[in-house]
Amino acid sequence: MLCLGIETSCDETAAAVVRDGREILSNIIATQLDLHAEYGGVVPELACRRHAQLIDRIVEKALKEGGVSLKDVGLVSVVQGPGLIGALLIGVNFAKGLAWSRGLPLVPTNHVEAHVYSCFMSNPQMELPAIGLVASGGHTSLFIMENVGRYRKLGETTDDAVGESFDKVASLLGLPYMGGPHVEKLALKGDANAIPFPRGLSKKKKSYDFSYSGLKTAVLYHVKGYGNKKRDPDKLSDQEKADVAASFQEAALEVLVQKSLRAAEQFRAKSIAVGGGVSANQRLRTLFAEGARNLALPVYFPERRLCTDNAAMVAGLGHWLYAQDPGSATYDFDARASMDFLR
């Protein structure tokens, strides 16, 4: 069955056609980076307008690139939340109108759960139960994944998300929005041991929660100074900037890896599944590979194009949910700014 997925939860207008929950026929993503770059972050009002302007063309393009027409589609899936409410509304209302007019079933999905599904979509052989980690611009969550749709929460960030801390540090270093990939690139030239930034919550604590506000502040003070020791970040040398990027990145990622590995041991998980924008980071992948080697624990990541926001993961998850329970299809739902997928 072909599923048309639609995603408008933040600053990407995306549509995709996926066959049987796995085979990606098309995956169209219209990014709004240009629109928000000068503000250093997403401006909700502008995001909504751009979604409204583009959504029909992006869906058309997804069908065309997939080599299919609407009459071949058997199911529509859309992100219901969490995200920017105005942005979500554009996708949800468009999907409702389209599905209704064609008499197609419509499955509402959770954006963060779709990130988890993207890992499964790229690695269907994944051994379960797995420890799941979603590391994105809005979320940092650790959980036990018994199956797609069955999760048990272990911990989450108590303040900022890890991806957001990459974006803030990028902006401090004068790098463009969206910062993650730029920090990663700059970090390649730096020394990860140059600055001993704090590692979120104490490693001794048994908690599986995360915290990134302390790390962000430590980077801020290091770059800009404080009290009567203020300094101009523009005067940092290229090497100093690279050292900040590398040291920050190591501190931000190490905690994710340590807590995931500890959870895998404690709960005897058979694998680890990572998803969300930060899972595109190569240093994160290397740290996981190094950490899991002695435990003989497989760690899975989505293929790169499925790490950051996309609609293929939405179509995939929608198909899975519908196949498990056709009752998951409904027109009777609203967009939701906050929404937990850990049930």
Contact 115, 311 (CB under 8 A): no
Is residue 163 near ligand KG4 by the rule CB under 6 A? yes
Total residues in contact with ligand KG4, by rule CB under 6 A: 20
Residue 280 near which of Zn ion, ligand KG4, none (CB within 5-8 Å, type-dependent):
ligand KG4
How far is residue 159 from each of residues 9, 14, 140, 178, measured CA to CA in Å? 21, 28, 10, 20
The least CB distance from residue 27 to ligand KG4, in Å, is 14
Cβ-Cβ contacts under 8 Å for 277 (sequence gap 6 or more): 135, 136, 137, 163, 178, 180, 307, 308, 309
Give the residue, chosen from 117, 143, 151, 166, that forms a contact with ligand KG4 under the rule CB under 6 A.
Answer: 166
Q: Which of the residues 226 through 285 are near ligand KG4 (CB under 6 A)?
A: 276-278, 280-281
- Choices 88-96, 174-182, 221-229, 264-272 (CB under 6 A): range interacting with ligand KG4: 174-182
φ, ψ for residue 37 (rounded to 5)? -55, -45
Could you say which DSSP state residue 141 is in? E
- Choices 140-148, 151-159, 177-185, 198-206 (CB under 6 A): range interacting with ligand KG4: 177-185
Could you say which DSSP state residue 310 is in? -
Residue 9 or residue 123: which is nearer to ligand KG4 going by CB? 9
Residue 179 or residue 291: which is nearer to Zn ion going by CB? 179
Is residue 200 near ligand KG4 by the rule CB under 6 A? no
Q: Which of the residues 124 through 183 are near Zn ion (CB under 5 A)?
A: 136
Contact 245, 218 (CB under 8 A): no
Distance CA 70, CA 68 (A): 7
Structure tokens at 50: 């751009």
The least CB distance from residue 237 to ligand KG4, in Å, is 23
Q: Which of the residues 304 through 343 are near Zn ion (CB under 5 A)?
A: 309
Q: Which of the residues 308 through 337 are near ligand KG4 (CB under 6 A)?
A: 308-309
φ, ψ for residue 57 (rounded to 5)? -70, -40
Tell me, what amino acid is at 311? Answer: A
- Choices 148-156, 158-166, 205-213, 295-303 (CB under 6 A): range interacting with ligand KG4: 158-166
Is residue 132 near ligand KG4 by the rule CB under 6 A? no
Residue 236 or residue 306: which is nearer to Zn ion going by CB? 306
Distance CA 245, CA 191 (A): 9
Cβ-Cβ contacts under 8 Å for 264 (sequence gap 6 or more): 131, 271, 272, 292, 295, 297
Give the residue, chosen from 113, 160, 164, 250, that forms a contact with ligand KG4 under the rule CB under 6 A.
Answer: 164
Residue 122 or residue 247: which is nearer to Zn ion going by CB? 122
Q: Which of the residues 89 through 128 are near ligand KG4 (CB under 6 A)?
A: 115
**CA–centroid distance for 27 within its chain:** 16
3-state SS, one letter per residue, for 225-276: CCHHHCCCHHHCCHHHHHHHHHHHHHHHHHHHHHHHHHHHHHCCCCEEEEEC
The least CB distance from residue 280 to ligand KG4, in Å, is 4
Positions touching Zn ion (CB under 5 A) are 136, 309
Binding footprint of ligand KG4 on the chain (CB under 6 A): 115, 136-138, 163-164, 166-167, 178-181, 184, 276-278, 280-281, 308-309
